[in-house]
Structure 1
Amino acid sequence: MSPSSDLAGEDVIYDIKLSTVVPASITAEGKTRQLTNMDLAMKLHYITTVHFFGGDAAEGLSIQDLKKPMFQWLQPYYLICGRIRRHDGGGRPFIKCNDSGVRIMEAKCAKTVDEWLETVNGGDHHRLLVYKQPLVADDLGFTPLVFLQFTEFKCGGLCVGMSWAHILGDAFSATECINMWGKFMANRTPPAHILNTPPIIHHLETASSCRSLKLLDPLGDNWLTPNNLKMQMNTFHLTEKQLSDLLSGENKNYKVTPFELISAIVWKSLAKIRSRSSMVATVCKKGEFDQTSLENELPGNMHQVIGIVEAEMTGTDPLELAELIAEKLVDETNMIEKRMEESSVNGNPADYILYGANLTFVNLEDVNLCGLKLRGERPVFANLSIGGVGDEGAVVVVPYTGQGNGSGGRTVNVILPEHQLLQLKNELRVEWGNF
């Protein structure tokens, strides 16, 4: 779907051009990626990133300058150039590594970077700046798994927007991949950069059931989350001082992180909005792995621990909820794999959603959002969110990468049914002040 709709009543995105970039050399014939059960649990979801650069970083960079290093970059990342296929016509999906490439969109914007960020404010920074195309039956075998959009602003600034099919890998893999493109552009990566198959990470068996997934009616090859409500994203920024205030004073006896406290406040507010006395939430957080190993691995969905927390909401304050999130998470990572396996018919698992099956809190505080640089310059603002979220909604917490007073804080992306989002904003004004 082309991002051609208006922003504030103006046609701000124009002069759109599409192209495709493929690896510099041909991948071995017949090479495939056999998808894991966790990969297939994520097949309806996608990851989006935006990196805004000022005029100094982007000045004089042509689309050819941006695309030229991609040919070498895509050689080790040949996986993301593949397309979805099925075994025996209708069996288990896999990725055929056929060098079909990533789709590139070029666009121009009638605003400056500052004007865009000010206009969007707390809204959806990704709308219009991340080109995406759904994986649906007629085009499933032809649709790219990664889209890159380069939007040139009238000030000379640039936004690099990426849409990444979650079936390829999680947010840690996605950001490492786009960051590596920046390194190739800066000639900071050796030519013979070969990526290894991701290792298997073992998780503790702490769950006896799987409540993180929601079973859907069969979707066939239409890989779209079936929402009953209109979903919308809003972005909040919490400064380092706001976080410090939340975690200080009477809170000193509680050993919780910013993510846990942010999640607890949003959870408590949504329980009030939804008139629920108890709630189950899904929590996704970084697993035990060395992040430096990412630069030597193909993308994969093994870097997160996924579990559930259940809480009585009546009479429970946010700090108690934060402690529950920190200490009472029931790890369901292995159970998700088992559920996908047990539901398989001819090797093809049933259709599930994870993000938004329950209200889902995603801890990406450790994701390397500032790893993508142009001419050695950090982005003036970067963000990451998740798409294909179910009706229960999701809250994605990433490091705040902007400049000024927000440095050291957090960016909180909330994806909820439209009517609940408006109510939540009113609730959070009480907790967090103006935003």
Structure 2
Amino acid sequence: MSIPNNSRVAVHSKLTVVSSTPTEPGQAFPLSALDHAMGRHTLHIIFYYRSEQAGRIQFEPIRRSLSELLSLYPTVTGRLGRDGEGNWEVKCTDAGVRVLRAKVATTFDEWLRSADGEEEKDLAVWEDMPDDPCIWSPFRIQMNEFEGGGVAIALSCAHMLADPTFATLLIKSWTDAQRGEPIGHPPFIYPPALRSRPTSNATTKATAYYASKAKLEEPPPLNMATTTFNFSSSAIKRELSKIHAHCPEASPFDLLTALFWSRIHQTMAPKNDPKRSLSICTDFRKRLHAPLPYGYFGNTMLFSRLTLGAEELDGGDLGLVVRSVHSHTAGLEEEEFWSTINWFHSIKDEKGKFAPPFAMYGPELTCVDMEHLIAPSGPSGGAVEPLMYMAMFEKDVKPEHVSYLVGNVGGEGLILVMPSPEGGLARRVAVTLPEEQMVKLRENRAILSLEPTLILSRGR
């Protein structure tokens, strides 16, 4: 996606940053079954630093720290290629990361007030992977400078290579290096960690769901709008107390997923099907018997389906929906994760090539749980904080906002429930819906009763 001529974002320079220590030649890392499954999508994360902070974030120093950091990330500076079976692998060529610099023709605060989710895309690099990606940089960074100060630093990548956790920690590690501190969550590059297991069941609820997704026709494209709702810790605490009798163990994710699912359902056109389904995306790094480090290179997300009757969503008793969401996510077992990997291996062709990817974010409404990113800030424990808001190029200079955007999201839409810089129970919920539905959602009384502030939500 090229930046339109009338955009307030103008790219003025491009360069390639390579690692300060050359990568050992000849290395190649195969992508896992779950990585291949994400081939339809791209991932984009934008870190916002406001004006009084931005004067301390100078390009040349952070370029040097990025070069030093990349010595630890040979899969980030490499290029995609095919192995002997026709599957994707990262060839560690040390070709570097593309970095773009841009100017934004407005102030930091005015951007957050006046931009919408569509215009926000101009702050990141959106490029389709070419047929032959041997010289194409799958990781790209765009540094955007606002008038009067303030910067937005965006990381873009092919979703095959990274999920939100790894991509978040790549930027956080960059900031650790910039401050001259140890890397809190170093990369863990070990492809065999997610190989198929011969003893794993390939006929679970998860595999049945993936098999059904693979058969779905892609819906026609719609004009989509994105709004981020910011909920305070006090508001979430108040709402959790109201549904405590139904689900005393409910988390902010359970509450907000139930709230937005039920309210989005009300904005949809009537359907003949009395059932309503929600796809829930859960990171499994720390839910495995042998947990993977946060810095695991690749994708560790499981998509599962929760189905309720339309009358249950319309019934007005939010606590019952919260309980259903909580029971579903708490009941996910490790076997579902491994069976999914086995299923993707089972549908390879006769030459051992993975089947073509299909839409993972959609076509049904999809909700992503990002609660796991509230985690210890370093390998030795320490404070439990939102990892994305620990990405500080200078001490105590935290991002004011972090946006997560996914490419090629269609169908019914996407909900991301994310930590907030406020900490505690506070959360930010980024919602992408067809434009007409978004207008109704922004006016929903049940959501507005929690007194959210809206970020990057101007309608067009």
What's the counterpart of residue 32 of structure 2?
Answer: 36
Shift of residue 106 of structure 1?
0.2
Amino acid at match of 1:265: L
Indicate how the Cα distance of structure 1 residues 208 and 434 shifts in structure 2: closer, same or farther if over 3 A, else same.
closer
Shift of residue 187 of structure 1?
1.2
Partners of 2:23 and 2:77 lie apart in 1 by 10
Pairing 1:8-407 to 2, within 5 Å after superposition: 11-59=7-55, 61-88=57-84, 91-120=86-115, 123=117, 126-137=120-131, 139-189=132-182, 195-197=188-190, 200=193, 207=205, 209-212=207-210, 214-215=213-214, 228-255=221-248, 256-274=250-268, 275-276=270-271, 277-287=274-284, 289=286, 294=293, 297-302=295-300, 304-316=301-313, 317-329=317-329, 332-345=336-349, 346-350=351-355, 351-367=357-373, 368-376=387-395, 377-401=397-421
Partners of 1:136 and 1:15 lie apart in 2 by 21
Partners of 1:359 and 1:239 lie apart in 2 by 25
Indicate how the Cα distance of structure 1 residues 50 and 186 shifts in structure 2: closer, same or farther if over 3 A, else same.
same
Indicate how the Cα distance of structure 1 residues 379 and 392 shifts in structure 2: closer, same or farther if over 3 A, else same.
same
Structure 2, unmatched stretches of 5+, are: 374-386, 454-460
Amino acid at match of 2:298: G
Identity, % of aligned pairs?
Answer: 23
Partners of 1:252 and 1:155 lie apart in 2 by 50
Partners of 2:81 and 2:328 lie apart in 1 by 40
CA deviation vs aligned residue, 1:350-388 (integer Å, no higher than 9, x gap): 222211143211111232111210211111222323322
Partners of 2:95 and 2:164 lie apart in 1 by 23
Indicate how the Cα distance of structure 1 residues 178 and 70 shifts in structure 2: closer, same or farther if over 3 A, else same.
same
Q: Which TM-score applies when normalising by structure 1?
A: 0.85
Partners of 1:107 and 1:18 lie apart in 2 by 9
Partners of 1:319 and 1:391 lie apart in 2 by 27
Indicate how the Cα distance of structure 1 residues 250 and 36 shifts in structure 2: closer, same or farther if over 3 A, else same.
closer
Shift of residue 172 of structure 1?
1.3
Partner SS state of residue 50, structure 1: strand
Q: Check conservation: 1:51, 1:383, Cα contact below 8 A.
A: yes
Partners of 1:300 and 1:365 lie apart in 2 by 19
Indicate how the Cα distance of structure 1 residues 173 and 408 shifts in structure 2: closer, same or farther if over 3 A, else same.
same
What's the counterpart of residue 221 of structure 1?
Answer: none
Partners of 1:40 and 1:422 lie apart in 2 by 35
Shift of residue 175 of structure 1?
0.9
Using the TM superposition, name which of 179-188 and 384-393 deviates more: 384-393
Partner SS state of residue 127, structure 1: helix
Shift of residue 227 of structure 1?
5.4
Q: Check conservation: 1:176, 1:294, Cα contact below 8 A.
A: no
Shift of residue 61 of structure 1?
4.0
Q: Check conservation: 1:57, 1:374, Cα contact below 8 A.
A: no
Indicate how the Cα distance of structure 1 residues 49 and 227 shifts in structure 2: closer, same or farther if over 3 A, else same.
farther
Indicate how the Cα distance of structure 1 residues 197 and 421 shifts in structure 2: closer, same or farther if over 3 A, else same.
same
Amino acid at match of 2:90: I
Amino acid at match of 1:392: E
Partners of 2:208 and 2:14 lie apart in 1 by 42
Shift of residue 234 of structure 1?
2.0
Q: Check conservation: 2:188, 2:293, Cα contact below 8 A.
A: no
Shift of residue 434 of structure 1?
6.3
Counterpart of 1:420 (choices 430, 437, 442) is 437
Indicate how the Cα distance of structure 1 residues 339 and 352 shifts in structure 2: closer, same or farther if over 3 A, else same.
farther
Shift of residue 430 of structure 1?
5.5
Indicate how the Cα distance of structure 1 residues 165 and 147 shifts in structure 2: closer, same or farther if over 3 A, else same.
same
Partners of 2:354 and 2:223 lie apart in 1 by 27
Compare the two structures and name the one with the higher helix fraction. 2
Structure 1, unmatched stretches of 5+, are: 219-224
CA deviation vs aligned residue, 1:153-197 (integer Å, no higher than 9, x gap): 12221111111222112211111111001111111137xx78552
Partner SS state of residue 69, structure 1: helix
Partners of 1:305 and 1:163 lie apart in 2 by 22
Using the TM superposition, name which of 168-177 and 386-395 deviates more: 386-395
Q: Which TM-score applies when normalising by structure 2?
A: 0.81
Partners of 1:103 and 1:336 lie apart in 2 by 34
